Structure 1
Amino acid sequence: MEDLQARHRKEQKDLQARITQKKKSATKKTRRGINDECDRLQRELTDRHQSEIAELNGETSELPVDGLEDLSINDKSPNGANENSKSGPDGEAATATTEPPTSSQTLNYTPHTHTKKPNRQKARLARRAAEQAAQAAQAEEEASKLTNHRGNEKEAMEAVFKQLKLKEVDINPDGHCLFSAVACQLDEMGLGLKPDPERIVLQPATLSRMETVVSPRHDGYRAVRAVTADFITENKDDFEAFMEEPLEQYTRKIKLTAEWGGQLELQAIARAYGVNINVIQGDGRIEKIESGDADDIEDEEERKRRVIWLAYYRHTYGLGEHYNALTAQV
């Protein structure tokens, strides 16, 4: 169907060029005849195209019959005079007498088979289906040429995990992922979440779950959020210049909502807990956020222990940016 439509478009384009040339060369006397000829050529091409489309769809189609040909009556000459008329004695033709045809006289005509006209609705549907298929194929081809950011990001991350002998821990992508990933590793490292229950503001419906705040398997992210918000408030001179909203409003979102954490929160977490944070990026780079306090620890083993590893994704997760926790392979 696609090849047939391509040929039809080319033939229509060629005919249009011929028609344009004919009309340009027409004079005042020949314009009418040329216009009639152009209309005839267009009709013939349109009828042929419709017939070919119908045949391709499994229908048998012929051009419609305009009428019957050459109806004639026996014993009649072309000019309508009876062939048996005879000339009179003086050479003048005698008046012909016309008698009604007998039962033996019949009309002779060339029969034509009337066939069903092409179904134009089916032809339109076929053309539309072919066009949609062509568009889908084109879209698929264009999509195949696009960069696979999701696949490339996952492949680059896994290569770094393997090189550093790290194992990924999936974190729920619920807006708390950064704080949950940190809570998971603080608990594993034995550093504790350091929450201050008096400063963790909970909604009435969750007051009965106060004891779960210190557990990274439940609401551990709440403790990390509270510690982060309080540290930013207590050291506002270091953070306030980078905020696009008032300090109180900003820290309230950190403590009480599912607001995503970013660079400011990473800095506050590193300093509040005295840990260095390494964030593996989607292109394989490692961003290091240092606490400053960790360098003062003389015990090298303790200094190495106080390192948090995070995996930061931009394309892999449907909701957007996401953090997973990373732990050392056993």
Structure 2
Amino acid sequence: MEELQARHRKEQRDLQAKITQKRKSATKKTRKGVNDECANLERELNERQEQELSEVNGEIHTHGVTTSEIDEATEEPENVEIDGKETSGTEKSTKNFPMPASAEASLHADSALPTRKPNRAKARLARRAAEQDALIAQATQEAANLPDLREQERAKMFDEFQKRGLREKEIRADGHCLYSAVADQMEQLGLGLEPRIPHKAVEGADQNKNGLPGYKTVREAAAEYIVQNADDFAPFLEEPLDQYVHKVKDTGEWGGQLELMALAKTYGVEINVLQGGGGVEKIEPEAKIVDNGKKIWLAYYRHGFGLGEHYNSLRKAP
């Protein structure tokens, strides 16, 4: 039993380390799946350990009492014959060994109290709960000793802003951040939000974009470009094109690399994405429509915001 419990503790520690690593490496789009996977791993491990403990114990318990104890406790005393009369073992012992009045009163008082046996099942559960608490405390301590990735990323970003003469405009973290940041950049450059490449008429599309929020206009521009150039995007999708375009155009789904490609081409600008490590990812437009080398700059954060990945708008420092 001690060897089994030691192995179980090690398995729990290993699993917690594995779960911590998985959650750190998850992105916004994979976070839900990673959380579900981690929950399944914890449940499967707990069920297997419960089964192993039951097999080692090899006992059937009824409210903490073994079946052998129940049988022994409920076995009827053997009947014996005294003075020509058949009587039970209890009566025999009482008649052959008279008790003092004080002892007899004490016996009756004790017999009125319910007899309790140790509840082994509860003891095992309490022991396992204590082990789980110890593992959680250990995992929490290990997490506390890890470097603060958010602060490190912020510090590196600030250094890059200083080197490149940029200042940051923070965009609301609401799922539309990529599109809002692009809208802010396009308006700062005086380029407007209408696509620079004329789109074919799309059936059911709203051609009147007056009064729409900036991020909404940018979402529609990206969605329309993807529809018009489906062959360039479909190989990279894990779902039907129409479902993907619906998410881009009409929901708060986060944008990423594919949407940046669509926006660079439909707006005819170079998009530069400054990342926490100091690198810059350039997304080029079609060469024939580059507008005098105009560029837009975005800051990409992986750890800096509660929802996960995030984009801010970068402007030239005064």
Residue range with higher mean Cα deviation, 260-269 or 279-288: 279-288
Q: Which deviations, in whole Å up to 9, do the C-alpha atoms of 1:128-160 show, x marking residues without a partner?
A: xxxxxx999977764453021111111111110
Residue in 2 aligned with 1:268? 262
TM-score by length of 1: 0.50
SS at the partner of 2:311? strand
Residue in 2 aligned with 1:154? 154
Q: Which runs of 5+ in 1 are unaligned?
A: 1-133, 214-218
**Identity over the aligned pairs, expressed in percent?**
49
How many corresponding residue pairs?
Answer: 183
Instruction: Tell me the CA shift for residue 295 of structure 1.
Output: 7.3
* Greater RCO, 1 or 2 (C-alpha within 8 Å, sep 6+): 2
CA distance in 2, matches of 1:311, 1:329: 14
Instruction: Tell me the CA shift for residue 249 of structure 1.
Output: 1.1
Instruction: Tell me the CA shift for residue 212 of structure 1.
Output: 2.3
Q: Does 1:230 align with 2:218?
A: no
Residue in 2 aligned with 1:243? 237
Q: Which has the larger radius of gyration?
A: 1
CA 247–140 in structure 1, closer or farther in 2 if over 3 Å, else same: closer
Alignment equivalent of 2:301, drawn from 313, 324, 328: 313
CA distance in 2, matches of 1:232, 1:137: 49
Residue in 2 aligned with 1:290? 284
Residue in 2 aligned with 1:106? none
- Alignment check: 8 A CA contact 1:200 1:226 kept: no
- Alignment check: 8 A CA contact 2:273 2:298 kept: yes
Q: Does 1:220 align with 2:242?
A: no
SS at the partner of 1:314? strand
Q: Which runs of 5+ in 2 are unaligned?
A: 1-133
Instruction: Tell me the CA shift for residue 175 of structure 1.
Output: 0.4
- Alignment check: 8 A CA contact 1:167 1:326 kept: yes
TM-score by length of 2: 0.52
SS at the partner of 1:261? coil
Instruction: Tell me the CA shift for residue 292 of structure 1.
Output: 2.8
CA distance in 2, matches of 1:137, 1:296: 56
Misfit runs of 4+, over 4 Å: 134-141, 195-202, 294-297
Residue in 2 aligned with 1:44? none
Q: Which deviations, in whole Å up to 9, do the C-alpha atoms of 1:262-291 show, x marking residues without a partner?
A: 000000000000000111112111111111
CA 294–286 in structure 1, closer or farther in 2 if over 3 Å, else same: farther
CA 182–296 in structure 1, closer or farther in 2 if over 3 Å, else same: closer
Q: Which deviations, in whole Å up to 9, do the C-alpha atoms of 1:238-266 show, x marking residues without a partner?
A: 11110111111111111111111000000
- Alignment check: 8 A CA contact 1:271 1:293 kept: no
